Structure 1
Amino acid sequence: MIVLADGARVMFTGDSITDCHRRDTDNPLGYGYPLRIAGQWGLRQPGRTPVWLNTGISGDTLAGLVSRWEADVLEARPDVVSILIGINDTGYRYSFGHDEVTADAFRSGYRRLLEPLTGVQLVLIEPFLLPVKEEQQEWRADLDAKIDVVRELAREYDATLVAADGMFAELAAGNNPEHWLFDGVHPTPAGHQALADAWLASTSECR
């Protein structure tokens, strides 16, 4: 569980799911789950206003996030850091022939993100996938290994885990997966809302 005090600096970062057009619009939070989290929090807790920040960049892999960590995250001096990364490390392997990012390499790179964050509250969001294309079926084993790493590191670093992959699988059971992730990866409005609700459920005072 995390606790958000008035004025706490909350940093969301990751790939396009977090970015969600923040860089090509006039909304610095983008139009995805970070904006919905900020909106729900403001509605439920008008007396305490965190500072919401978003440095997600569309297309990023874990290596890309590591390369900009100092400038985009650490220099902002956040009190809470929320990370969602990993699906591109899987998808690029199969879609573009990139080298495999093994579980060991993914773990090592992710540790580089977490190690400087002493005293910072952490939220780790599982990367997720609902295969809607035949070729996405083979992504599953690769992504599952990375999800296991995120779960392991959440325990090790006493981080709050948002179990997004299982959540989307449950939501899509007996339903149309495209209702939640329109291409199997990127959330629809309903998917972003589900992710925001899951994130907020991990906090102790805005559920």
Structure 2
Amino acid sequence: MTSSLDRRHFLSTGIASAAAAGMLASGSAKAADSPASAESIITPGSTILFQGDSITDAGRKRGIPEANDQAALGGGYAFLAAAELLVDHPKAELKIYNRGISGNKVNQLAARWQEDCFDLKPDVLSILIGVNDIWHHLNDDLEKMLEVYGNDYQELLTRTKAELPETKLVLCEPFVLRCGAVNDKWFPAFDNFRAAAKQMAEEFDTIWVPYQTMFDEAVKLAPPAHWAGDGVHPSAAGAALMAHGWMTAVSA
């Protein structure tokens, strides 16, 4: 049986999430303001693809080709955003996929892009990538890795635009919270990776989901570990906040 302590914890989590979501509602829409985001980019019959690393993967089950499968969507922000879309638009015949893979960097997305992106022919393609491009190289030349990240990302998006010129792109800001695995060694390099991703969004005129900005506001309501225990992978509260941020950006 659920204890009163557990219930209080659940309620406090929900209240903090709702408050942070309320703060995000205005800020995210402004950050996403661009010709592509003048109205919702989700239209009836859309195929929506979430791509990225473990934050997107969120324990999804592999090998399920069908759209809208709960196990295949994982347990993170992609699933929560998909669930909201499917509830809000039950007759829209949306097809939603998650092809995030834990540990991926940009070059690993590129290596599987034909099967896990082009073959699905998404109408909306959402990409969150970057944390592993720095996390896996903290002891290396981070300036060089930043250059690799930027070049690889630009090449991937150029290739995507050529293959899928009508696809609407959603780029998500890489983010970390200062707790768990995230320490001073990450900075200021990580901010430069974020800036590189934002530059890609501007260059390719995409929707931009400002996740770092969102979490910077959220930690005013609850400590970083509430949103992401290791500083990288979101908790249930963090994933819910991410889904809200994503939905706000694509519906602005």
Q: TM-score when scaled to structure 2?
A: 0.75
Structure 1: distance between partners of 2:221 and 2:101: 33
- Secondary structure of the corresponding residue to residue 93 of structure 1: coil
* Cα deviation code 1:7-29 (max 9, x no counterpart): 21111010000001113697111
- Match of residue 111 from structure 1: 154
CA distance in 1, matches of 2:250, 2:91: 16
Q: Is the partner of 1:112 in helix, strand or coil?
A: helix
Q: Secondary structure at the match of 2:43?
A: coil
> Equivalent residue for 2:107?
63
Q: Quick one: which of 206, 214, 234 aligns to 1:187?
A: 234
Q: Any stretches of 5+ residues in structure 2 without a counterpart?
A: 1-36, 65-69
Aligned partners of 2:90 and 2:181: how far apart in 1?
46
Letter in 2 for 1:10: I
Q: Deviations over 1:138-185 (max 9, x none)?
A: 212121111111111111111000000111111012521111011100
Letter in 2 for 1:52: I
Contact 2:41/2:124 (CA < 8 Å) preserved in 1? Answer: no
Structure 1 gaps, min length 5: none
Q: Which of residues 243, 247, 252 in structure 2 aligns to 1:196?
A: 243
Q: Indicate how the Cα distance of structure 1 residues 53 and 98 shifts in structure 2: closer, same or farther if over 3 A, else same.
A: farther
Distance of aligned partners of 1:163 and 1:135 in 2 relative to their CA distance in 1, 3 Å threshold: closer
1:8 aligns with 2:84: no
Which structure exhibits the higher relative contact order, with contacts defined as CA atoms closer than 8 Å and separated by 6 or more residues? 2
Q: Distance in 1 between matches of 2:199 and 2:215?
A: 20
Once the two structures are aligned, what percentage of the paired residues are identical? 33
1:1-207 equivalences under 5 Å are 1=37, 2-23=40-61, 27-94=71-138, 97=139, 100=142, 101-115=144-158, 116-117=160-161, 118-133=165-180, 136-173=183-220, 175-204=222-251
Higher helix fraction: Structure 1 or Structure 2? 2
Q: Any conservation in 1 of the 2:207–2:249 contact (CA below 8 Å)?
A: yes
Alpha-carbon distance in structure 2 between the residues aligned to 1:31 and 1:99 = 34
Deviations 1:80-125 (A, max 9, x none): 110001001111112xx45535332211101122112322100000
C-alpha separation in 2, matches of 1:39 and 1:174: 26
TM-score in terms of structure 1 length: 0.91
Please tell me whether the aligned partners of residues 182 and 231 of structure 2 are also in contact (alpha carbons under 8 angstroms): no
Which whole-Å CA distance do the structure 1 matches of 2:212 and 2:174 have between them?
Answer: 6
Larger Rg: 2
1: CA distance, partners of 2:181 / 2:121: 43
Distance 2:167 2:145 in 1: 27
Distance across 2 between alignment mates of 1:49 and 1:147? 34
* Aligned twin of 2:28: none
Give the CA deviation at 1:134: 7.5
Amino acid at match of 1:4: I
1:109 partner letter: D
Q: CA RMSD in A?
A: 1.9
